[in-house]
A and B are shown apart, each in its own frame.
Chain A
Amino acid sequence: MSRPAAAKALSRSYAGERTLTFLVGLLAFLGGALALAVGSGGLGEFRGRRPLLDPIALDWLGGHATPARIAAIVLGVLLFVLGLRWALRSLRPEPRPDLDLDRTEGAELVVTATAIAGAVQADAEQLDGVSRARVRAVGSRTSPALRITLWLREGTDLKGVWAELDTRVLTRARDSLGLGTLPTAVRLELDTSPAKRVR
């Protein structure tokens, strides 16, 4: 993927799930359409009247019994492994990686994901115009990133919030962690104003 880490951190990737669903849907559509074409005589009148389990195909399979069996078993095992991997991959929650600050043997220093999230969240909530903030670590342990969701009060100046976020929150987080770069994705949400009572 050529997308930078910060852009990837904006939201969980659905590429795998979408590709799988798309491909399965496409195959089902093509198979169904082909069967319809055969059944309606699109590939010849005679072809359409033959049984589904064609004797010619069965004869051919019977003639190549051993390779066909091996192929079927390999296909089955492959489907089993891949299907299980897909299911587990989709069910797994998005990881919250811890940050390795120091990997020196004997002096390892790890900041847990919740610790970073809590610290940055407390800072972000101090900003003017921010009513609520949610921070979580995303990505993998080798390339961690932060995802910050800010709920802004009505009438807040977007650019002002951004400038403060950069100078106060992110810079502080980078400095305190001693990191040169910390890919960050910011999601801005506009809060609804609290309902006013009419008297």
Chain B
Amino acid sequence: MRPFVRILATLLGLAFAAAGALLALEVGWHWWRPGSAPMLVPWPRWQADLASLGWDAYAVRVGAGVLAAAGLVLVGCALAAGNRAVRLTDPADEVSVSTSPRSLARLVGLTVRAQDNVAGASVTASARRIRVRAKSALETEAELRPRLLATVSALLDEIPLVRRPKVSVVVDSPKDRR
């Protein structure tokens, strides 16, 4: 999302620059030579169109809806482009450490998979939350879940994270389905 917002900001900047240049040029041109035709933008025709169009026209309503929706999308993109890195405590002044959510998930996944009776696990992690989904053929959820929670918790004690993520564990076991 971050490179996308960078491109978006560039395009928005260029659009603003173009619109501003056209506005200044057209207004200046019309001021200097009121009688002559417009330079680039056929604004007298637009003026006539807009003057005949009411606020309650269908096209105006649709246009307004599209504009509002596009605005919401932009706001969403801007909010989604936050930094996702997981901060670790600064070991010294002038040094800061972070890791990627992917690395944290990988670390947790390695630990979980190394446990007995775990056939496989998928982990997603962010700075706030770690979700573990483990598969086991030999133990039920009630047996395995507390053990995995304790393991992940012990692992998080080892890593000096600034903010301790919440851990949720789900165990998928055929023994529970009987």
Contacts and interface: CB of A to CB of B under 8 A. Distances in A.
Given A29-B68, A39-B61, A11 B55 contact: no
Contacts of B13: 20, 82-90
A5 B94 contact: yes
B91 interface: yes
Nearest to A31: B67
Question: Interface on chain B toward A: helix, strand, loop, or mixed SS?
Answer: helix
A80 B78 contact: no
Interface stretch (A99-107, A113-121, A122-130, A179-187): A179-187
B16 A82 contact: yes
A26 B79 CA distance: 12
B154 interface: no
Interface in A23-48: 24-33, 35-36, 38-41, 47-48
B27 A69 contact: yes
Nearest to B58: A39
A29 B24 CA distance: 26
B110 A154 contact: yes
Interface of B: 2, 5-25, 27-28, 31, 47, 50-57, 60-61, 63-79, 81-83, 85, 87-88, 90-100, 102-103, 106-107, 110, 158-160
B16 to A, nearest CB: 3
A86 B146 CA distance: 52
Given A4-B94, A76-B22, A29 B72 contact: yes
A53 interface: yes
B69 A17 contact: no
Given A36-B65, A69-B31, A187-B100, A24 B12 contact: yes
Nearest to A157: B158
Given A47-B55, A78-B20, A84-B17, A10 B85 contact: yes
5 contacts: A4-B93, A24-B71, A28-B68, A33-B64, A186-B97
Contacts of B14: 83-84, 87
Given A25-B78, A81-B20, 4 more contacts: A32-B68, A40-B56, A51-B54, A72-B24
